[in-house]
């Protein structure tokens, strides 16, 4: 189970970094979303990956699952969804005003200034 979670975090991080380094707006947004998913899985895995254990320690339980990382991940999912919606709307308005979704506008700005 740990190998599966570590592989998922690594693959999501690698894909997210690759997409963030692209020069288009929407792949960058998808890359940031993949990075947040990787962080969420990492936080979730930090709360002990234990099956069929209660969330709080009691006298009869042999172990427990830490509920704090689960609460943090749930909060992070809601916040990242809201921020992704805001960033998509900003990117869409920038695309509609500039008619391009490229991030580096330096070359075009220098060409039009001359």
Q: Give me the residue label for tokens 């220098």.
A: 110
Q: What's this model's pTM, rounded to 2 decimal places?
A: 0.75
Q: Are 76 and 40 in contact (CB under 8 A)?
A: yes
Q: What is the pLDDT of residues 77-107, one digit of tens each?
A: 999 999 999 999 988 888 888 888 777 766 5
Phi, psi angles (nearest 5°) of residue 44 = -65, -40
Q: Are 39 and 73 in contact (CB under 8 A)?
A: no
Q: How far is CA 45 from CA 16, 26, 49, 110, in A?
A: 19, 29, 6, 48
Q: How confident is the model at residue 30 (pLDDT cuts 50, 70, 90)?
A: very high
Spatial neighbors of 99 by CB under 8 A, at least 6 apart, are: none
Higher pLDDT, 85 or 59: 85
Q: What is the mean pLDDT of the chain?
A: 83
CATH architecture label of 2-109: Orthogonal Bundle (1.10)
Structure tokens at 54: 């209660």
- φ/ψ region of 68 (left if φ > 0, alpha if ψ in -120 to 50, else beta) reads alpha
User: What's the confidence (pLDDT) of residue 16?
Assistant: 95
């Amino acid at each position: 189970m740990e190998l599966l979670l570590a592989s998922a975090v690594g693959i999501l991080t690698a894909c997210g970094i690759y997409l963030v380094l692209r020069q288009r707006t929407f792949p960058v947004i998808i890359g940031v979303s993949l990075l947040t998913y990787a962080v969420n899985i990492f936080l979730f895995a930090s709360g002990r990956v234990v099956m069929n254990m209660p969330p709080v320690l009691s006298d009869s339980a042999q172990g427990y699952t830490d509920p704090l990382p689960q609460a943090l991940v749930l909060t992070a999912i809601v916040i990242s969804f809201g921020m992704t919606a805001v960033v998509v709307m900003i990117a869409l308005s920038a695309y509609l005003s500039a008619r391009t979704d490229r991030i580096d506008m330096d070359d075009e700005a220098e060409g039009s200034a001359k």
